[in-house]
Amino acid sequence: MTAAPTGHVPDPDGIKLTDLVRAELTKICTLPATWIALALALVADAVLGLLAATDAVRLAGSDGQASITHSGTVLLAPVYAFAAVPVFAAGGEYRGGQMRVSLLAVPDRDRFFAAKLLAVLGVLVVAALPVVLPGGVAQHLLGDAGAGAAVDGLFTKAVAYSLLGLVAYGFAVLVRTVAAPLAVLVVLPVLVSPLLRGLSPEVTRLLPHEATLSFLGTPEGPDLALDRPVGLSVVLAWAVLTVGAAWTVTARRDG
């Protein structure tokens, strides 16, 4: 018997990880839903950035009308269109038995999930900055944000979009569908958070949406505010938790 060369570890399925990642990227980039979601997120973020810079629209509140810039939830709303990209990439696999076919081609579930995760992460990182760029430029050119603050805001928002996208991806894998993750992610800040805020703001501010607002420096109120590094840590923890749970479930349950 001839021993394998030292340092050479054969791929158990005969397929390189890079090939798997490339295949997953092709899947994501050829989905019409990917481009529709990115276009919606870009347009919505650009419009909201323009409205925030010009103060053309004001929101009614308990203290009278206020600028749209005072509502972090409204300004962050386009992220849920952006989150549809990883949700469709994950949830779409479970329609028509596609997941079982994929697992037959790649029986090593750890490598399979790693490839999908790397592909999704790559798309999120590459797409996030272009999506938030028009809105950020509008706020810089038409508003009073300086160049340094504008650049910091763009990169911070891109990071926030990417992390919430990972949360959405992990959740979509866990529930094996498309509609439920998007519905939950939208319902949480719109309906659940306002109700929970009155009962326990300490818990509410640790939810993904509220922690993201703190990271962006636009919390919905002092009772929900976290220091920006803490907000980032909380959102990152949500991403790690959901993706880790998704990886574990993928490795153990039936396709």
120 close to 83: Cβ distance less than 8 angstroms = no
* Distance between CA atoms of residues 9 and 108, nearest Å: 15
Q: Give the residue from 148, 139, 134, 159 showing the smallest Cα distance to 211.
A: 159
pLDDT per position in the chain (255 positions), as tens? 444 444 444 455 567 888 889 989 998 999 999 999 999 999 999 998 888 777 666 665 555 566 666 677 888 899 999 999 999 988 777 766 677 777 777 777 888 899 999 999 999 999 999 999 988 887 766 666 666 677 888 899 999 999 999 999 999 999 888 888 888 888 888 888 888 888 898 999 999 999 999 999 889 889 989 999 999 999 999 999 999 999 999 888 755
* Distance between CA atoms of residues 193 and 199, nearest Å: 10
User: What dihedral do alpha carbons 240, 236, 93, 85 form, nearest 10°?
Assistant: -170
For residue 66, the cross-strand partners are 59
pLDDT for residue 135: 85
Q: Give the residue from 87, 77, 59 showing the smallest Cα distance to 160.
A: 77
Helix, strand, coil percent values for the chain (each to nearest 5): 75, 5, 20
46 close to 138: Cβ distance less than 8 angstroms = yes
CB atoms inside a 10 Å sphere around CB 44: 18
* Distance between CA atoms of residues 232 and 177, nearest Å: 27
Q: What is the pLDDT of residues 15-58, one digit of tens each?
A: 788 888 998 999 899 999 999 999 999 999 999 888 877 766 66
Alpha-carbon 30 to chain mean position: 19
